[in-house]
Amino acid sequence: MSVLLIPVGLSMASIITSLFFLALAAFIIQRFKYNFWIALFLTGVLILTTHEYILPYLLNTKKAFEEFSDVDPDFEFLFQLDKESIPQELIPIIKKYELNIGKAFKVKNEMFSKLDEYWYVGIPVSQEKHRTSIFEELNDTGILKSLEYNEQFRHEKLENDIFPSTSFVYKTNDPKASDQWSLAALGLLNNQANVVNLISPKKSALIAILDSGVIGNHEDLSDNFVSINSEYQKQVSDHGTHCAGIAAAVTNNRLGISSLIPSKDWAQLTSIKVFNVLGFASQKRTIEGMIEAAEIGADVISLSLGARSFHKSETAYNEAVKYCNALGAIVVTSAGNSNESARKFAPGNSENVLCVAAVDNKLNRAAFSNTVEDIEYGLCAPGVNILSTVSKKKYERKSGTSMSAPFVASSVALLKAIKPNLTTEEAYKLLKDNGRFINEEAGYLIQPFEAVLALYDQLEPI
């Protein structure tokens, strides 16, 4: 017997707000009932503005954040079960608490992953008070291979430090490049950046930004951007667009900023939106995005997201990373912004990911940054006062390990461009061995072009 119910996925606040604007639309139609076209036009404008602007604004208020739960309210748990249908041992629990149960993930290449063994559990609002008991009862059946909470998370907004104005000479024609201290920290003052222009990449690596959406037609992104779904270009916040600019803003286009990517012959960019209209994402939705990215052929998957982990080992994330690796993608994650060990946060604590801490302009670990000394593949990159793209033709500075991860994603893309079958371990070794040691907590600061030249020398020895 298989129980499969589809939860609506809307909060009470969103339902009430939507009903209000539907009533307003009905009033407009009634008011202009003798002029159908005016009524239709005004109703259309109302629906569009409500969906794109009013509803997200109203629901992304302080009250919504105060009500934030660390578990997805629609799909509270994920469990792994190597059966095609729900076994009899679970039926009494499902009926007792009226649970919604269904297959969590679908993959095209089942031989590379056990993600098809994962199920979601949705708890009705009336039973939410029994969440802990439900978890314990499911776990006590002894038939589940794993059971874990489906963490929910949102982006944090950190205050930028006030740096003294600095500039340096970086040989691009992008007007804001001289304001990017991060480029100097990554070694772009050196001649290596120019030497890379003499190398012919074997492919254009694809970087997938899994975030809040990316404005792909931004003036400084469009030439490097590949759209796979127009919905992914409608941003919930400008966080995703900011990360995209760090990873692959167009260099030498006489606009805005520069990135590590010399041209689209080396790397291109795409967006997969995993945050909802309220600004929340979850483990389940992130994994769905990882599956999608891997299956469209992404070479690098950049995750500037995460949450405190309920478990020492997040088995679903680990399976997702395995699947991505099997399809040729390297996964890069942010370490987190709680000044703790990244080992306590997912997906940064997943197996076989590059987990990135943040440093400031003095090359000290940023005060907010989680540490990576307990992470197998821990690195660091600039993450304070990082100038990058936001909405329309604008540019802003943001801080966080969210900003650090795309620098590493961009660096890995350069490496994959000249060695397409590069593994996570190989990428880490190149970035570490050619990086600059900061300290145990932050690890090695990447020096991307040093790593590129080292790899090129390996592949094309003189």
Confidence at residue 62, expressed as pLDDT on a 0 to 100 scale: 39
Write the pLDDT tens digit of every residue in 234-266: 999 999 999 999 999 999 999 999 999 999 999
pLDDT tier for residue 381 given thresholds of 50, 70 and 90: very high
Write the pLDDT tens digit of every residue in 175-184: 999 899 999 9
Tell me what the mean pLDDT of segment 24-39 comes to.
Answer: 65
Confidence at residue 128, expressed as pLDDT on a 0 to 100 scale: 92
Confidence at residue 127, expressed as pLDDT on a 0 to 100 scale: 94
SS (H, E, C) the chain: CCCCCCCCCCCHHHHHHHHHHHHHHHHHHHHCCCCHHHHHHHHHHHHHHHHHHHHHHHHCCHHHHHCCCCECCCCCEEEECCCCCCCHHHHHHHHHHCCEEEECCCCCCHHHCCHHHEEEEECCHHHHHHHHHHHHHHHHCCCCCEEEECEEEECCCCCCCCCCCCCCCCCCCCCCHHHCHHHHHCCCCCCHHHHHHHCCCCCCEEEEEEECCCCCCCCCCHHHECCCCHHHHCCCCCHHHHHHHHHHCCCCCCCCCCCCCCCCCCEEEEEEECCCCCCEEEHHHHHHHHHHHHHCCCCEEEECCCEECCCCCCHHHHHHHHHHHHCCCEEEEECCCCCCEHHHEECCCCCCCEEEEEECCCCCECCCCCECCCCCCEEEEECCCEEEECCCCCEEEECCHHHHHHHHHHHHHHHHHHCCCCCHHHHHHHHHHCCEEEECCCEEECCHHHHHHHHHHHHCCC
User: Does position 188 have pLDDT exceeding 70, yes or no?
Assistant: yes
Say if residue 145 is in the same domain as residue 269.
no
pLDDT tier for residue 29 given thresholds of 50, 70 and 90: low
Tell me what the mean pLDDT of segment 289-309 comes to.
Answer: 97
Confidence at residue 410, expressed as pLDDT on a 0 to 100 scale: 98
- Check which CATH number belongs to the domain holding 107 and give it: 3.30.70
Say if residue 280 is in the same domain as residue 361.
yes
Average pLDDT for the chain:
87
User: Is position 7 within any domain?
Assistant: no
User: Is position 390 within any domain?
Assistant: yes
Say if residue 119 is in the same domain as residue 223.
no
Write the pLDDT tens digit of every residue in 46-77: 665 555 445 544 444 434 433 446 899 999 99
Say if residue 344 is in the same domain as residue 269.
yes
Tell me what the mean pLDDT of segment 99-109 comes to.
Answer: 95
Which residue, of 133, 150, 167, is where some domain finishes?
A: 150
User: Is position 72 within any domain?
Assistant: no
Count how many domains the chain has: 3
User: Is position 61 within any domain?
Assistant: yes
By mean pLDDT, which of 163-167, 196-200, 371-375 is the weakest? 163-167
Are 331 and 354 contacting, i.e. CB atoms less than 8 angstroms apart? yes
Q: Which of 152, 222, 153, 155 is nearest to 403 (CA)?
A: 155
pLDDT tier for residue 315 given thresholds of 50, 70 and 90: very high
pLDDT tier for residue 163 given thresholds of 50, 70 and 90: low
Confidence at residue 183, expressed as pLDDT on a 0 to 100 scale: 92
Say if residue 241 is in the same domain as residue 129.
no
Say if residue 211 is in the same domain as residue 186.
yes
User: Is position 71 within any domain?
Assistant: no
Confidence at residue 196, expressed as pLDDT on a 0 to 100 scale: 75
Tell me what the mean pLDDT of segment 372-388 comes to.
Answer: 97
Confidence at residue 157, expressed as pLDDT on a 0 to 100 scale: 83
Tell me what the mean pLDDT of segment 102-115 comes to.
Answer: 94
User: Does position 365 have pLDDT exceeding 60, yes or no?
Assistant: yes
Say if residue 85 is in the same domain as residue 60.
no
Say if residue 83 is in the same domain as residue 36.
no
User: Is position 172 within any domain?
Assistant: no
User: Does position 5 have pLDDT exceeding 80, yes or no?
Assistant: no
Write the pLDDT tens digit of every residue in 79-95: 999 888 899 999 999 99
Tell me what the mean pLDDT of segment 420-445 comes to.
Answer: 98
Confidence at residue 7, expressed as pLDDT on a 0 to 100 scale: 32
Tell me what the mean pLDDT of segment 437-458 comes to.
Answer: 95
Say if residue 260 is in the same domain as residue 300.
yes
- The residues annotated with a catalytic role in the active site are 211, 239, 402
Say if residue 42 is in the same domain as residue 88.
no
Residue 267's domain comprises: 177-459
Confidence at residue 189, expressed as pLDDT on a 0 to 100 scale: 67
Confidence at residue 193, expressed as pLDDT on a 0 to 100 scale: 62
- The tokens for 138 are 């499911």
Confidence at residue 84, expressed as pLDDT on a 0 to 100 scale: 84
Which residue, of 108, 132, 150, is where some domain finishes?
A: 150
- The tokens for 279 are 């600004």
Say if residue 236 is in the same domain as residue 351.
yes
Say if residue 43 is in the same domain as residue 116.
no
Tell me what the mean pLDDT of segment 380-394 comes to.
Answer: 95
User: Is position 259 within any domain?
Assistant: yes
Tell me what the mean pLDDT of segment 364-375 comes to.
Answer: 97
Q: Which of 280, 376, 269, 397 is nearest to 333 (CA)?
A: 376
User: Is position 155 within any domain?
Assistant: no
Work out the percent of the chain whose per-residue pLDDT is above 70.
Answer: 81
By mean pLDDT, which of 25-29, 118-122, 304-308 is the weakest? 25-29
- Check which CATH number belongs to the domain holding 184 and give it: 3.40.50.200
pLDDT tier for residue 409 given thresholds of 50, 70 and 90: very high
